[in-house]
Amino acid sequence: MKEFRTRFKLWLSTKDAEGVFGDGKWRLLKSIDAEGSLKAASQSLHISYRKAWGDLKKMQQCLNVPLVKKQRGGALGGQTALTEQGKKWVKAYTGFRTDIEKAVEKAYKKHIEELVK
């Protein structure tokens, strides 16, 4: 029999906005932190700059907090860095997602694992 693994998509929504924060936006913030710019982050994730900018704008508007601080061009080029709030969101979502992964794995073992042996 084939080997199975659990997979899921996770995101947070509000009454007024779907997909305010989730795995993709979490990866975007982590990539901005690692790469130091929105452009480099979008390239590393293989998404367009326009999508990255739109996702960032949606998060900040819906959460009503600044997640990044930007420094425009100049001799060294522009930079984007996470604000303290941005870092808190990455950390909190990382913990939340880890807890969900553990719960999904536990449910898989309880309900499915015996069926696929």
* Residue 9 forms part of a structural domain: no
Assign 116 a pLDDT band (cuts: 50, 70, 90): confident
* Residue 30 forms part of a structural domain: yes
CB 98 within 8 A of CB 104: no
* Residue 58 forms part of a structural domain: yes
* Residue 4 forms part of a structural domain: no
Using one digit for the tens of pLDDT, what is the confidence trace for 30-87? Answer: 999 999 999 999 999 999 999 999 999 999 999 999 999 987 766 566 799 999 999 9
What is the overall mean pLDDT for the chain?
A: 93
* Residue 11 forms part of a structural domain: no
* Total number of domains in the chain: 1
* Residue 61 forms part of a structural domain: yes
Q: Average pLDDT for residues 92-104, to the nearest whole number? A: 97
CA dist., res. 49 & res. 51, Å (int): 5
* Residue 53 forms part of a structural domain: yes
* Residue 1 forms part of a structural domain: no
The pLDDT of residue 4 is 86
The CATH code of the domain that includes 59 is 1.10.10.10
The pLDDT of residue 75 is 58
Asked whether the predicted pLDDT for residue 102 surpasses 80, the reply is yes
CB 9 within 8 A of CB 51: no
Q: Residues 6 or more apart from 73 whose CB is under 8 A from it?
A: none
| Structural domain containing residue 27 | 16-116
